[in-house]
Amino acid sequence: MNTGSYTTKEGELRMLCDALYLHIPFCLRKCPYCDFYSVGADPSLMDAYTRAVLDALAQVPFDLAPLDTVYFGGGTPSVLGGERLARLLNGVRSRFGIRPDAEITVECNPCSALPDTLAHLWDAGANRLSLGIQSADDQQLARLGRMHTIAGVRNAVDAAYRVGFSHLSLDLMLATPGQTLPDIDRAANLCAEVGAEHVSAYLLKIEPDTPFGREGAASRCPDEDGQADAYLHAVETLEQRGYQQYEISNFARDGRIARHNCKYWDCREYLGIGPSAHSFIGGRRRYFPRDLRGFLEAPDKFALLRDDGPGGDTEEYLMLRLRLTEGVTWDALASRFPGFDPTPLHEKARPLQKGGLLFCDEDGLRLTPSGFLLSNFVIGELLL
């Protein structure tokens, strides 16, 4: 397999893709706020889907380098079960090769992170778990429609450690119905107590075509000022517990950032497989339709792939990099886009810096925590 680089029609030199995302579209029960694509965890469907993804791996029409990151997302990948997930991971390894130091992440919910499932994952080479705990309060978990309790979180973490996992990421939700600032403190304390090295903390966004959206749950959530308070409090309290912010919603101890997700934010290429999975590969954005049956029945899975236009231009690079606390460095920008003139960015940044929304200096351009809260506005002002 070619593991070097290729040149686009525009003459830009790019490294071959070394990141793979596999979408597992199954859940035990759909959470009322969730808009991700998933269906019920029917065993026969999950068997058929495992076979379909293995077929898709054999049909991949792109050159990939040996993989540096593999990410199983969903849905709830852990409901697929350890044996099926291990088959998929072994199929990935056989098709592309996986580097010895690769990051291999599997998303889990506490109630499906069973010891047998975790043991199969560990034996197959997975080395990082992302647990969706969302809250450290059982009443709030019930309001969010979650199936686990805090005791279940601790049991899942203990089971992961016993199997051999040491790299754990926990997901938290902010500005949920009834949540207070002390609730956020308790959630941060739980992350630290169980030894998680990574935390993702997201403001709840209620999509209209979800149960929460249809029943008007937004009226039970904090208003914009309350959301800002929750976010800034989470940044502060997580940093007090040793979690350094490196992206709008992501925090890590001891530099244990999510390597796979950082490829997205650095505008690197990746391949996604499965219904609703997106890719950026060969200089193009592409995606599979949200259609499990269509994916299962298609003889050529990649005939389903839809083109979503070119990717990786200067504007997209700036937009994605500004999600990171490191932001955009002038050296990296000049290396990536040699002909780009940053002078207009300096000029547009001045009033935003005076407003406390970003820093612009000799090193580069980066948003403040307050700027992250208004990131769409700030990035729009910079790029217009």
Per-residue pLDDT of the chain (384 residues; tens, 9 = 90+): 233 444 444 444 467 899 999 999 999 999 999 999 999 999 999 999 999 999 999 999 999 999 999 999 999 999 999 999 999 999 999 999 999 999 999 999 999 999 999 999 999 999 999 999 999 999 999 999 999 999 999 999 999 999 999 999 999 999 999 999 999 999 999 999 999 999 999 999 999 999 999 999 999 999 999 999 999 999 999 999 999 999 999 999 999 999 999 999 999 999 999 999 999 999 999 999 999 999 999 999 999 999 999 999 999 999 999 999 999 999 999 999 999 999 999 999 999 999 999 999 999 999 999 999 999 999 999 998
Q: Rounded to 5 degrees, what angle do the CA atoms 176, 323, 210 make?
A: 35
- Residues contacting 256, CB < 8 A, separation 6+: 167, 197, 198
Determine the pLDDT at residue 14.
Answer: 61
Q: Rounded to 5 degrees, what angle do the CA atoms 30, 31, 32 make?
A: 110
Determine the pLDDT at residue 15.
Answer: 74
Sequence ranges of the domains in the chain: 5-265, 314-383
- Taking Cα atoms as reference points, which of 46, 8, 12, 11 lies closest to residue 26? 46
Determine the pLDDT at residue 384.
Answer: 83
Specify the amino acid at residue 212: F
Q: How far is CA 189 from CA 195, 199, 289, in A?
A: 10, 12, 40
Q: Given 3.40.47.10, 3.40.250.10, 1.10.3080.10, 1.10.10.920, which CATH number is that of 314-383?
A: 1.10.10.920
Level-2 CATH architecture, domain 5-265: Alpha-Beta Horseshoe (3.80)
- Residues contacting 205, CB < 8 A, separation 6+: none
Determine the pLDDT at residue 3.
Answer: 36
CB 374 within 8 A of CB 339: no
As a whole number of angstroms, the distance between CA 282 and CA 255 comes to 30
CB 287 within 8 A of CB 308: yes
Determine the pLDDT at residue 11.
Answer: 41
